Amino acid sequence: MQPEVDRIAHPWGDRTPLDPGRPWPVRVDSYLEPGVEEAQVERWVQSASLLHSNGDAMDIAVLGDRIVGVRGRAADRVNRGRLGPTDLFGWQANGSPDRLTTPLVRADGRLVPCDWDTAMARVVTETKELLRERGPGSIGFYTGGQLLLEEHYTLAVIARAGIGTGHLDGDTRLCSATAAEALKETFGCDGQPGSYTDVDHADVIALFGHNMAEAQPVLWMRVLDRLLGTDPPRLVCVDPRPTPVARHATVHLAPRAGTNVALLNALLHEVIRTGRIDHDFIAAHTVGFEELAERVAGCTPAWAAGICRVPVREIERAAEILGGAERLLSTVLQGVYQSHQATAAAVQVNNLQLVRGMLGRPGCGVLQMNGRPSAQNTRECGADGDLPGFRNWENDAHVTELAELWNVEPQRIPHHGPPTPAMQILRYAEQGSVRMLWISATNPAVSMPELHRIRGILGQDGLFTVVQDLYLTETAQLADVVLPAATWGEKSGTLTNADRTVHLCDKAVDPPGDARSDLDILLDFAHRMDFRDRDGRPLIGWHDPESAFEAWKRCSAGRPCDYTGLTYRRLRGGSGVQWPCTPDAPDGTERLYTDGITWAAPDVCETYGKDLVTGASVPGTEYRTLNPQGKAVLKAAEYLPPHEDTSDEYPLQLNTGRTLYHVHTRTRTGRAPQLVAAAPDMWAELSPGEAQRHGLTEGDLVEVTSARGSVCGRLRITGIRDGMVFLPFHYGYWDTPGGHRPDGDVGRAANETTVTDWDPVSKQPLFKAAAARVTLVKHSEGAVCPAPTTTASAPVHHRSVPPTVGGPDAVATQTTAAPERDAP
């Protein structure tokens, strides 16, 4: 059957109940632009989602050399045909009339069109002059989590072995740097231990700061189907907002922002106190249990309740569920990663799994989730500043191995100190030591904290800025050179999702005008710079996506993220495949650590760890003493109060986050009409109690102010915890009159208000760690808040607010199939 469903009003579609351990039934979701019938589609081209980290596999519909729709891929292990709202509708941004189609250079204070030779000559001349006069440390790169694997790897080689700079990072620093760091601190290496299929087996799923329903809607569909099957799992939700996850949870804990470590220590306290731990597993596979047990000995539920301001009994109930689980799956996302003590908290989630012995078996795992679509590729390829292949910059043997692979001298690869994170690169630009910044596929003029400062840095005369993007974003408007890039559907390459599944994305149509793929731009730059290896041959020896993929495979060989068993041919036609995939494991690896911890030994680990309070690196000698056999490290953490707390002037905690219908800074989703209609403009959320105390009602125009700036939006009254105000972070200025923030006006972007602060370990900015106040600008007088009603932003008083609907243009087709007999 093929029911049609409004996927804005019903974003998760219809249910296909899933019993434990059974295969997830197929449900193929599809959407074609109005007026196009499936029979008219000339070809379907294989791809995967570029708008979130879930990695939903899909086919692109092409008619007359245009993309006209998408459908889910039934054979794929990740989504079994399902697509979320941004998958179904976001592709329309490719055809937006304001796409960049020609390079731009700044002349007389304005950006003017030019040809590629002119633009690239400007970039190359500036690069060579800076290298000659100031050295490689004067050049930095900041890239986006929407490049493909082949592009990330090429950029890493150019930056490291071509330019020789340590200033390379990605916008994954904003979303999943803590995920990577937490995995490294515990397991010695990045790499997701669990698998999405653990949802099919778990009897308890604990979600820590993870609004799965909106961040990974297809994975949430899998959970919803389990909840309707026999023997459904119990959910434990930790989130200060009334998310869809919270509404389905057996226990919902809504702590104060910045108190995650206190809460997790109390949960560990209870699990250990009641003896619900796996002593044999702890002895065989971990180090550090005695210190952990000692650290949490005094962290009672009553102690944590006073800090977190949640009921003691609810903490105890959560601990009972976690301690009694037979198959426990834990997931973590921005509610932990972007909060105070981010890495310390994420590590405690790992500790919960380990002391319970819940690892490496179906239903037993941890998913330190990603935010950006190719965040995993950014990390494994080294475009986040780490060395490619999860190599250890402090291990000379790893650096030498990489140098041999690239045929350069080891000293050419910067490894005298830790990689430079994004916030520090911008600080160097502010101070004047970084004089050139190349920004690709990301929009820091909206996504970074304390935006007035970021605009000042990017707009200063002493910084030469190159922006490589699809549109004239807020960041591109500040650039000296703008390079028009091709995007998803217009180029080929691979994407790796949050559970290590590698998908091939084939080119479906040509990019508009003179736009080029990011890979072609980088290869052109490398050619013009004439980068050479130590034998005088070109440093970059590949010329297209497939040859770049083969080069990456050689880099990955023998490392945790081993791709050597994969080819484009292997990835074409069926399901994505999870790494490590080798000739000995040609079908990939569903779960890591099924037979012990494999990448924590001192000679092979990606890191020796860091101090969870200061972020200082642990010396290699100390790590060898602590963990000579390469076990998982149970790393304890003390709760410390947030740096910026509430006050009489700023009495509310400020929380920022995403909504289901938009991604990052809306550069793509803001150009899809159904998604725009679902969440068209900025809003703020307060609880009924806070609204009453402030004399506010639903729909009032309010101003949210912190010590750094203000934003304006309509008020939505939700079930959010008291003492907190929430702002969505997606909204900037490109779709406002003038395309930028008018001087002197109250802002629209949430990051006008956020604080310049970051986690000491992961260096991830803390977007959920500020204080603010809310004041009335104007009563609603019948105006409606633009926040969706289907999500965590659902109003408390439903009858007074029109429901979010998409209408005829948001109707997608769903095709279900008969259940299969055997699990995949």
Could you tell me which of 334, 53, 22 has the C-alpha nearest to residue 218? Answer: 53
DSSP state of 490: S
Give the pairing type, strands 251-253 and 234-238: parallel
- Both structure tokens of 654: 């400020």
Instruction: Answer with the residue of higher pLDDT: 740 or 525.
Output: 525
CA dist 777 and 774 (Å) reads 10
Q: What is the pLDDT of residue 817?
A: 72
- Whether the pLDDT of residue 820 is over 60: the answer is no
pLDDT digits (tens, 9 = 90+) for 722-735: 999 999 999 999 99
Q: Are residues 667 and 470 in contact, defined by beta-carbon separation less than 8 angstroms?
A: yes
**With contact defined as beta carbons under 8 Å apart, do 7 and 811 qualify?**
yes
- pLDDT greater than 90 at residue 805: no
Each residue's pLDDT tens digit, 529-571: 999 999 999 999 999 999 999 999 999 999 999 999 999 999 9
| Residue 679 buriedness (CB in 10 A; 0-12 / 13-18 / 19+) | buried
State pLDDT tens for residues 643-679.
999 999 999 999 999 999 999 999 999 999 999 999 9
Per-residue DSSP letter, 341:
T
Tokens of 728: 């969505």
Is 60 exceeded by the pLDDT of residue 598?
yes
Mean predicted lDDT score pLDDT of the chain: 96
Q: Please give the average per-residue pLDDT across 151-176, as a whole number.
A: 97
CA angle centred on 128, ends 123 and 130, rounded to 5°: 95
Give the integer Cα–Cα distance in Å for 481 and 478.
9
d(CA 131, CA 164): 10
The number of residues making up the chain comes to: 824
| pLDDT given at position 226 | 98
Predicted local confidence at residue 299, as pLDDT: 98
- What does the alpha-carbon distance between residue 730 and residue 669 come to, in Å, rounded to a whole number? 10
Q: What is the pLDDT of residues 422-475, one digit of tens each?
A: 999 999 999 999 999 999 999 999 999 999 999 999 999 999 999 999 999 999
CA distances from 811 to 9, 50, 82 (A): 9, 21, 14
Q: Is the pTM of this model over 0.85?
A: yes
Instruction: Give SS3 for 207.
Output: strand
Q: What does the block give as tokens for 13?
A: 């579609």
Task: Express each pLDDT in 72-88 by its tens digit.
Answer: 999 999 999 999 999 99
Q: First CA to last CA across the chain, in angstroms?
A: 23
- Assign residue 813 a region: left if phi > 0, alpha if psi is -120 to 50, beta otherwise? beta
pLDDT band at 799 (very low <50, low <70, confident <90, very high): low
- Nearest CA to 497 out of 12, 46, 51 is that of 51
Place of tokens 């079994």: 80
DSSP secondary structure letter of residue 414: -
CB 654 within 8 A of CB 725: yes
